[in-house]
Every structure is written in structure tokens, then in C-alpha cells.
A and B are shown apart, each in its own frame.
Chain A
């Protein structure tokens, strides 16, 4: 069974203090790894899809990287508006679209 573990559960940063969120996964064959952002009272918002080890993607202050066992979401010089829960999910290479989600990292950026 596919498993996704995210750490830490919660992270509190000062504005401008860079850090990384971790997503460790176990999957029989990785077809894709997804990062989402979820604000309170809203649905998950898509950020990135990574397909193979070594791949990196960037968007504003966020950069996602992928290895064979884990993914990192690097946040550079965060701002208060980056405060949200960040969710990681994996799709295995079986012929089926079932995505397994982690429980998320709740990020708070303090001005």
C-alpha cells in the first residue's frame, strides 16, 4: 500500500526565514508526486507535479525537488501570505489514478 509521510506537522517561521518541508513516500512505482497548498476553508490548490528523481520545479518563493524516496518543498524568504497547509500526494504507476495524500504540514509565517 502506498504511504506518504510529511514532516514536520507544523512549522512556524519568521518572515524571511527560509526552510524546507519534507515528504517521504513509499510506492511500488512512482508515476507522479504532487504538491498542493490548502488555505483554511478552501480546497487544495495545485502547485507542482514532479515525475522523476532529480526533477525540480519553481514558483515564486517555492521550489520542489524529488529523489527516489522523498520530496522537499523549499520556501525561500517566506511572507505571511505563504501561511497555509502544504499537502504532498503520490500517484503510483499502476493503471489507476488513485492518489495517496499525506496529512500535510501547517506553515505559519510571522511578520
Chain B
């Protein structure tokens, strides 16, 4: 079984540019989470989708961040315009709360973003 797939794995961009991060959850998982990890703040939840619908986006830092889930197998996290303080590792995770693994979240490998 393929796990959560994220792309790109690394992204270097200049301040002001648009950045799009992509995620494919585990097949059959209907909950999807975007997290940001930094040394200072650890893992922070940005947004959570259930059945492709955003349930809670209170962790999204500001209007520069947006996320979509057009179908059950694909989600994007967009930053426009990007700023140096957005540099972090962004993780996508998925879960199948009604399935055998319950609410356990499974993480992708992450996208390492550096904004210069």
C-alpha cells in the first residue's frame, strides 16, 4: 500500500513568489490534514478536511495561505505571496476514522520549503 504522497519534496523560492504544495492521501482515507513543522513551534495543524470539505482552518496563519481538496485523492496548499517566515517543513496526513485504523493519522514525507 502506498502511503501519503507529497510533492515536491523540496522547494526553494524567492519572497513574493507563489508556492503550491501537493498531497495524495492514502486511498480510502476520508480525512486529510495539513501541518507545518518548525524548530520553534513543533507540529502545528493548519487545516483539516473531512470528505473533501474544510472543517477547521483556524490554524492557517493568514490570508496568504489557502488549501483545497477538489477530490478524495488530491489536496493542495498554496502560499501567495510567500515570505521568508514561511520557511518550514509542511506535512500532509490522512486518516480513516470509520475504518480499522480509526483516527490514527498517517503522515507523508513532507515538503521542505525555503523562501529566500
CA gap between A103 and B43 in the complex, in Å: 7
Cβ–Cβ < 8 Å partners of A42 in chain B: 109-110
- A49 within 8 Å of B (CB atoms): yes
Which of B4, B45, B102 is within 8 Å of A98, CB to CB? B45
Given contacts A32-B102, A49-B104, A102-B42, contact A97 B109 (CB under 8 A): no
Given contacts A32-B103, A43-B107, A97-B31, contact A104 B42 (CB under 8 A): yes
Range for the number of chain A residues in contact with chain B: 20 to 34
- A44 within 8 Å of B (CB atoms): yes
Cβ–Cβ < 8 Å partners of B93 in chain A: 43
- A45 within 8 Å of B (CB atoms): yes
Cβ–Cβ < 8 Å partners of A101 in chain B: 42-43
- B34 within 8 Å of A (CB atoms): no
Q: Mark B42-78, 1 if CB is under 8 A from A, else 0.
A: 1101001010000110000000000000000000000
CA gap between A43 and B93 in the complex, in Å: 9
Distance from B39 Cβ to chain A, minimum over Cβ atoms (Å): 9
Q: Mark A35-57, 1 if CB is under 8 A from B, else 0.
A: 01000001111100100000000
- Whether A98 and B48, one on each chain, are in contact in the complex, defined by CB atoms closer than 8 angstroms, is yes
- B108 within 8 Å of A (CB atoms): yes
CA gap between A102 and B42 in the complex, in Å: 7
- B84 within 8 Å of A (CB atoms): no
- Whether A97 and B107, one on each chain, are in contact in the complex, defined by CB atoms closer than 8 angstroms, is no
CA gap between A103 and B39 in the complex, in Å: 9
Which of A32, A36, A97 is within 8 Å of B50, CB to CB? A97
Residues of A within 8 A of B (CB): 31-32, 34, 36, 42-46, 49, 87, 91, 96-99, 101-104
Residues of B within 8 A of A (CB): 4, 31, 33, 42-43, 45, 48, 50, 55-56, 91, 93, 95, 97, 102-110
Q: List 28 A-B contacts (CB under 8 A).
A: A31-B103, A32-B102, A32-B103, A34-B104, A34-B105, A36-B107, A43-B4, A43-B93, A43-B107, A43-B108, A43-B110, A44-B43, A44-B91, A45-B107, A46-B104, A46-B105, A49-B104, A87-B43, A96-B55, A96-B56, A97-B31, A97-B48, A97-B50, A97-B97, A97-B103, A98-B48, A99-B103, A103-B42
